[in-house]
Structure 1
Amino acid sequence: MARAWHLKSRPVAMPGPENFELKELPDVPLAQGQFRVRNAWLSVDPYMRGRMSDVKSYVPPFAIDAPMQGGAVGTVIDSANGDFPVGAQVLHMAGWRDEAVVGPELMPQKLPEIGVPLHHWLGNLGLTGATAYFGLLKVAEAREGDVVFVSAAAGAVGSAVVQIARNKGMTVIGSAGGPEKCAWVRELGAAACIDYKAGPVLPQLAEAAKAHGKGGIDVYFDNVGGEHLDAACALARDFARFAMCGMIDVYNDGKPQEMRYLIRLVSARIRMQGFIFTDYLAHMGEFQADMGEWVRAGRMQSRETIHDGLESMPDAFLGLFRGANTGKMLVRL
């Protein structure tokens, strides 16, 4: 019997085990156009926290007492859709479960056989890599010679941004939590990485920008918000561009953030733009060509923090907010 994690209740602040319930799924026949997938890997992503709250957003909230959703890859085991035959490997949005009945509403993508491990389609070759690529190159319009500041640079999206920027001839300053993560960010090609756990962000960023960026930054890729965003405002050069991907610092506490340097948006003429990767689906061909070349040439590294078994999904998800991952957080089934 297939099983799925359901949202049992909506968290007020930091989610806990009490908000989740693992339940069996009914065995339903396939309608025309649907197919059944046995999932092999589940994606674990910070944006899922927003869907646990009943607020208006770019995707609807998870329903109470209904299976949760997220990225997943697996193999078709039964099909009523000629485009997705038995044996095909598929990327889709029916995660948080071990088997899924998938239709067009779950955005399935039949995966080409290019000789990469299946879980890479949840990382640099999938939504994660596309988010980094479009945010950096389309939203922030980053270009060769720019100084790019990336928060959560040891995370899934952040580590991809670091490498894309390096591959495009930019200077990168990353931020990560702890010496080990910072060492990995520098290994990926960052000129410097500040350790936000070692002290306030702003003076560390100022020192790195002085050494590697002539005292300022041209682009900020924000995964964190809060103190990182304020430091980026303080050190932004005129006409800097900010790609606002996420604000994991403020997803759970609900507290107002002190922004001492936000006023510089006016004087420095900073452009700040939020985005989601689906805004740029028309450019997927460009992304796949660039990313595919970089992956084949060994110019894109990836690390994964892997939890095993469907039962571990909530623990993996909550680990995102403790900084428990380096690179992509995944659950292996």
Structure 2
Amino acid sequence: MVDVLESSLLGSSPQFAHVLAQIRRIAKFDVTVLIGGETGTGKELGARAVHYLSARAAQPFVPVNCGALADSLVESELFGHERGAFTDARHAAPGLISEAEGGTLFLDEVDTLSLKAQAALLRFLQDRTYRRVGGTQTRHTNVRLIAASNANLEELVKTRHFRRDLLYRLKVMPLVMPPLRERGGDVIQLAQIFLERLNRDYQGHTPVKQFHPDLLAALKRYSWPGNIRELEHFIQREYLMCEGAVLNAELPQDRSAPPDGEERYNTVFKQAKARVIADFERSYVASLMTRARGNISRAARLAGQDRSAFSKLVHKYRLASEPEQEQDSADH
């Protein structure tokens, strides 16, 4: 079998070699893992590597984007539900934990879970038992849990938006995926790999392409705030748009570099405008939530907005506490 690290986690810088060594070590121990790192750094690839290098490799790896789970359905999605547990529950469903039996459940963006969902996850982690929504039978499971977040969970704990006890349960074995800007020559190595893949995939449809030296130099200078994902998408986009055999494109303006002159004033204006809009939104939503006594549905009606859109604003500014969420659920 092809080595999981060599086929998916690519790079040879000392910083990345250290991470690969950590992954090999962590995979040997059947404990909960918390993966941190900026968006686009390969947190899911790291989770998959831990799974496929472990004794659970032959069992399922089940990824879950917590940010895509509706708040009212989190427990049903994770633990499953019995027939008739709620209005649309026409059939019993096993849930994602059951699907991952014997293998690994990967919870990405775990910071987006509500406090109520965090409490349910904490209860599960304590003894690996759960009950389906609407059920009475306590079920035991043999699942390894890996969680990931690009947020600073310690800061979220301080602001009471993430449970401290859950953080301790998840952070048994921490792993941090480094940003691309700290990986030295890996930028060029990854760019060459992406280009080789594109040349292979589009063979016969477009000329075989190579990088212009100026573009390679620019790739090294750029800070890549979107990390590996941004690099891959940039190479793919420029490859498909290039009619010749040499890639030489301009990179986006690097926002990590301090602007000067007129550009600086434009940047300051845009930042100030964004802050004003954000302050207004936060104040407006908070006022409506107060008038609606914490009920998101009522507040959305007052605003004349769709509940889903208004709910996103509430959670964007973290204005819904646990009691408010429970009250809102009871309103339906």
| TM > 0.5 fold call | no
Larger-Rg structure: 2
Please, what TM-score do these two structures have when normalized by structure 1? 0.30
Hey, which of these two has a bigger chunk of strand by percent? 1
Please, what TM-score do these two structures have when normalized by structure 2? 0.30
Hey, which of these two has a bigger chunk of helix by percent? 2
